[in-house]
Chain A
């Protein structure tokens, strides 16, 4: 056998100078030949640590072996046992912190781990193009379940329970399903046609998705409880936080949620073909260091801004964003102000933003998260000229549904209390998972929670039906 390459098989990407002017996908993915080359690097470990580190425990060596053998149908079959959204996870999971972080090949000196995410994506994209629709199940319906929210967690529950023989209805408040996959993560990282196809494949399992249904308003929780045997709450953490510094109400100040919703859900980057406007900003400042901040900054660049800078209160070492996206952003001329925090938004006198007054920070003692706490350096104030500022400092729990459902126990941060082993909440028959339980986290963790909940929901309904058979 040929010696294993130390490096991952190179992946084709759009040139930075070109891609920073469009919203097309940056990473072009492997073709079959490149995929087979990469698959051959896998050591096929017996007790593969990568499986343990995957929140939905995909048989990673299994699907990689099938790729190596050129059997894409088999690879897809393996993936579909574990995940309902592989084309999405292959693209947006932080593999460097999960499966790829423990790859034995990657742990060998001077070797890069197997590109598991890129391989998953290859298989999933192949399946979306080549596989026949799964026929809708005709076996007797075990029970009726409602899923509130059509983000990654809700879609996972819906897919898993439909496969089990449940009648599943998903309620979505917006006009398009997908949650953060649709309104949050931009086209250049996650093409919406992929999201639509993946959602369509879940609908083909027999799942009904109802859009424009705001639970708590359009339909009450009482009505949901009366109509369904069980329900899964996966409404996410979609209420934007604002820092609340002076000038927050100036024109030109956005939450990242608004900025990205305008662009992604409403196609603002295609204004005026689509009716929702976005601003022609010249100088943009993005506050924050997570994936959302990267997405906002790179979107602003693509909308034609001359200068885009990220203001982050810690340093590169603590940046919570995916390292791949950070590198992409640097290649696209996004500037960084490390150890910097905004203290005031300045006005041009006409109610519009003219600049961001900042202070420099120094790293002090580690806080409860283990990261060194940033402290203000006295007298370090300076101003960055800006006509647009986007706050990407995190989201909290949206109270629209929760405020109408007082029976449900919440924790002190306003998130739903749910058993991590079952997804069960304080109300019998009501399960919950994803960001509404954990606070803003990752797509794959939300899916993992969905997997767990789907299993215990199935058990719950079966047990309930035994004691009270359908008349």
Chain B
């Protein structure tokens, strides 16, 4: 179990791996996530299930190296084993027939958006997808998203792919030209906050997928608590999907920063060790 069957580097810091996990492959639904621990010293980190292959009993994960835990995962090759993979966790996305849906993904959040795009298309919706990233090489899963969307719009900050601008600019245009029944926005918290504002300006309900700090991922610690509609919710068991308009964004963004110092120190120390290790080879 947990053997990596395939891996590829998508960009400088983004990696795509397939892992043997037959039970999760069988049960995982769009919107659900896993808790992954690279080795016995590692943290437990949440990663979304991007895709599943029931026949082969494998699941796809895409992650961006932002700290020590993801840096460690990035060193793993096909044939290596991940110490712990637990899931599927969280409540699945609310996939059903809405009519026309607009899906917005930013950066590595596209990985979490893709299974929902696919699910909504299979459920018979007309699907419009907006993908956004800083630059061309960070627009992941383009072909996959295109294959399950009726229309695909790409936005980059530097204009190296699609149009130059923010995903919210593209959202405004779509809302202005046609009626959207439901929107999803998944990406950096600041992006989700602004997408929520744009969607609610146009009276379109919007789901977001929150990615707070988690430890167990099964509702036993409350580390991932968020304020939704003025009450405490645990993103790991009550979410990760919530209505964007009900999320207390400022608080959520603040809580994401809790371990910034420790995380930076930990990564720097790891990179130094890796370099020292490399030099002695």
Q: Given the complex of chains A and B, what is the CA–CA distance between A398 and B234 in angstroms?
A: 12
Residues in B257-274 with C-beta less than 8 Å from chain A:
257-259, 262-263, 265-266, 269
B157 at the interface (CB under 8 A from A): no
| B87 adjacent to A275 (CB under 8 Å) | no
| A240 adjacent to B258 (CB under 8 Å) | no
| A275 adjacent to B222 (CB under 8 Å) | no
Residues in A221-270 with C-beta less than 8 Å from chain B:
238-240, 242, 244, 248-249, 251, 254-255, 257-258, 261-262, 266-267
Interface SS, B side: mixed
B44 at the interface (CB under 8 A from A): yes
B229 at the interface (CB under 8 A from A): no
Query: Do A398 and B43 form a contact, CB below 8 Å, given A244-B232, A249-B251?
Result: no
- Checking B41, B220, B251, B254 against A398 with a beta-carbon cut-off of 8 angstroms, the contacting residue is B220
Size of interface on B: residues with Cβ below 8 Å to A = 42
| B218 adjacent to A218 (CB under 8 Å) | no
B227 at the interface (CB under 8 A from A): yes
A273 at the interface (CB under 8 A from B): yes
B83 at the interface (CB under 8 A from A): yes
Query: Do A173 and B215 form a contact, CB below 8 Å, given A244-B232, A249-B251?
Result: no
| B23 adjacent to A219 (CB under 8 Å) | yes
Interface SS, A side: loop
Residue with the highest number of chain A CB atoms closer than 10 Å, among B23, B83, B218, B220: B220
Q: How many whole Å from B29's CB to the nearest CB in chain A?
A: 10
Query: Do A255 and B221 form a contact, CB below 8 Å, given A212-B84, A214-B87, A276-B215?
Result: yes
| B222 adjacent to A258 (CB under 8 Å) | yes
Q: Given the complex of chains A and B, what is the CA–CA distance between A184 and B78 in angstroms?
A: 36
Query: Do A261 and B220 form a contact, CB below 8 Å, given A211-B84, A276-B215?
Result: yes
B216 at the interface (CB under 8 A from A): yes
Chain A residue nearest in CB terms to B34: A212
Q: How large is the interface on A (under 10, 10 to 19, 20 to 34, 35 or more residues)?
A: 35 or more
Query: Do A351 and B254 form a contact, CB below 8 Å, given A218-B86, A218-B88, A242-B232?
Result: yes
- Checking B84, B225, B262 against A277 with a beta-carbon cut-off of 8 angstroms, the contacting residue is B262
The contact string, 1 if C-beta is below 8 Å from chain B, for chain A 413-426, is 00000000000000
Q: Given the complex of chains A and B, what is the CA–CA distance between A329 and B80 in angstroms?
A: 45
B57 at the interface (CB under 8 A from A): no
Using Cβ atoms and an 8 Å threshold, which residues of chain A touch B255? 249, 251, 351
Q: Given the complex of chains A and B, what is the CA–CA distance between A444 and B44 in angstroms?
A: 30
A272 at the interface (CB under 8 A from B): yes
Chain A residue nearest in CB terms to B265: A272
B89 at the interface (CB under 8 A from A): yes
- Checking A213, A248, A400 against B232 with a beta-carbon cut-off of 8 angstroms, the contacting residue is A248
Q: Given the complex of chains A and B, what is the CA–CA distance between A185 and B129 in angstroms?
A: 49
B223 at the interface (CB under 8 A from A): yes
B42 at the interface (CB under 8 A from A): yes
| B215 adjacent to A261 (CB under 8 Å) | yes
A271 at the interface (CB under 8 A from B): yes
| A276 adjacent to B27 (CB under 8 Å) | no
A399 at the interface (CB under 8 A from B): yes
Using Cβ atoms and an 8 Å threshold, which residues of chain A touch B220? 238-240, 257, 261, 398
A467 at the interface (CB under 8 A from B): no
Query: Do A217 and B219 form a contact, CB below 8 Å, given A175-B84, A244-B232, A275-B42?
Result: no
Chain A residue nearest in CB terms to B238: A399
A73 at the interface (CB under 8 A from B): no
Query: Do A175 and B222 form a contact, CB below 8 Å, given A217-B89, A249-B251?
Result: no
| A174 adjacent to B69 (CB under 8 Å) | no
Q: Given the complex of chains A and B, what is the CA–CA distance between A272 and B24 in angstroms?
A: 31
Q: How many whole Å from B77's CB to the nearest CB in chain A?
A: 20
Q: How many whole Å from A263's CB to the nearest CB in chain B?
A: 11
Using Cβ atoms and an 8 Å threshold, which residues of chain B touch A262? 215
Using Cβ atoms and an 8 Å threshold, which residues of chain B touch A276? 43-44, 215
- Checking A240, A275, A351 against B221 with a beta-carbon cut-off of 8 angstroms, the contacting residue is A240
Q: Given the complex of chains A and B, what is the CA–CA distance between A271 and B259 in angstroms?
A: 12
The contact string, 1 if C-beta is below 8 Å from chain B, for chain A 157-182, is 00000000000000001110000000
| B269 adjacent to A239 (CB under 8 Å) | no
| B215 adjacent to A266 (CB under 8 Å) | yes
Using Cβ atoms and an 8 Å threshold, which residues of chain A touch B68? 275
Using Cβ atoms and an 8 Å threshold, which residues of chain B touch A255? 221-223
Q: How many whole Å from B33's CB to the nearest CB in chain A?
A: 11
Residues in B70-96 with C-beta less than 8 Å from chain A:
72, 83-89
Chain A residue nearest in CB terms to B236: A400
- Besides the known contacts A239-B220, A257-B221, A272-B269, 7 further A-B residue pairs in the complex with CB atoms under 8 A apart: A174-B86, A242-B222, A248-B225, A249-B251, A258-B223, A351-B255, A400-B237
Q: Which 3 A-B pairs have the closest CB atoms?
A: A277-B262, A351-B254, A258-B221
B residues with a Cβ closer than 8 A to A are 23-24, 27, 37, 41-44, 68-69, 72, 83-89, 215-216, 218-223, 225, 227, 232, 237, 248, 251, 254-255, 257-259, 262-263, 265-266, 269
28 contacts between A and B (CB under 8 A): A175-B37, A175-B86, A211-B84, A212-B85, A212-B86, A217-B87, A238-B219, A239-B220, A248-B225, A248-B232, A249-B227, A251-B255, A251-B258, A255-B221, A255-B222, A255-B223, A257-B220, A257-B222, A258-B221, A258-B222, A261-B215, A267-B41, A272-B269, A275-B43, A277-B259, A351-B254, A351-B255, A399-B237
